[in-house]
Chain A
Amino acid sequence: DIVMTQSPLSLSVTPGEPASISCRSSQNLLHRNGHNYLDWFLQKPGQSPQLLIYLGSNRASGVPDRFSGSGSGTDFTLKISRVEAEDVGVYFCMQALETPRTFGQGTKVDVK
């Protein structure tokens, strides 16, 4: 199975400041079609995961443009340009190239 590794595991951010989360995969997630099969989810406290980013850099419907995804191959980054209080929760990356889908261990983000 593809192993997904996130860093840092926790992050405390001042509102209005940027935040960045790294995700590395044990295998290349760049499909021969030119797309990276990597999604990002946010799990707010007490809620189910919600899709933020798909194919590495495409924002899902309704996701604010302060969220952006980048990277290719085995190294990916989720950036929040200006963190807001509602962004607290645990962020997960997930590879969608192979079955079984596998997730990172999560990065907990809280606001100072």
Chain B
Amino acid sequence: QVRLVQSGAEVRKPGASVKVSCKASGYSFNDYYVQWVRQAPGQGPEWMGIINPNVGSTIYAQKFQGRITLTRDTSASTVYMELGSLRSEDTAVYYCARRTPVVLDITYHYMDIWGKGTTVTVSS
């Protein structure tokens, strides 16, 4: 069964950092990019970044540049999202999602497998 299992809820103070893990199972870890999306209470989802687990290359949304780091541990089939300089506005549920290719007349990529989410609360 293809799954992404995320780490548990976290509480941090403003200015601190948090590291969330996302463990993949049921498929070849190196073959699928993983994206991170967060959702603040009552808001629409917000795309944060993406990592290629095979080589570790990353792309970040400009909004998070300088604060976000995506890494992976191929031996553990796990990707990590670290967000620093936390503020109250970073309180949200953080999701990892697999980017899956589908071949039609073109090759398209969609997010079809999602983790259950990790709640991060930033509060003094």
A residues in contact (CB < 8 Å) with B = 4, 33, 35, 37, 39, 41, 47-51, 54-55, 58, 60-61, 92, 94, 96, 99-106
Main secondary structure of the interface of A (DSSP, over half): loop
A55 and B44 within 8 A (CB): no
B61 and A96 within 8 A (CB): no
A99 and B45 within 8 A (CB): no
A100 and B61 within 8 A (CB): yes
B110 and A54 within 8 A (CB): yes
Interface centre among A4, A37, A94, A101 (most CB of B within 10 A): A101
A101 and B47 within 8 A (CB): yes
B45 and A35 within 8 A (CB): no
Q: What distance in Å separates the Cβ of A48 from its nearest Cβ neighbour in chain B? A: 4
B residues in contact (CB < 8 Å) with A = 35, 37, 43-48, 50, 59, 61-63, 95, 97, 102, 104-106, 108-112, 114-117
Cα-based distance from A35 to B108 in the complex (angstroms) = 10
Q: What distance in Å separates the Cβ of B60 from its nearest Cβ neighbour in chain A? A: 9
Supposing A101-B47, A103-B47, A105-B44 touch, asked if A96 and B110 sit within 8 A by C-beta, the answer is: yes
Contacts of A96 in B (CB 8 A): 108-110
Contacts of B97 in A (CB 8 A): 49
A51 and B47 within 8 A (CB): no
A48 and B115 within 8 A (CB): yes
Closest A-chain residue to B111, C-beta based?
Answer: A51
B114 and A49 within 8 A (CB): yes
Supposing A48-B116, A50-B114, A51-B110 touch, asked if A104 and B44 sit within 8 A by C-beta, the answer is: yes
Out of B44, B59, B110, B115, which one reaches A99, CB within 8 Å? B59
Cα-based distance from A105 to B47 in the complex (angstroms) = 13
Supposing A35-B106, A48-B117 touch, asked if A103 and B111 sit within 8 A by C-beta, the answer is: no
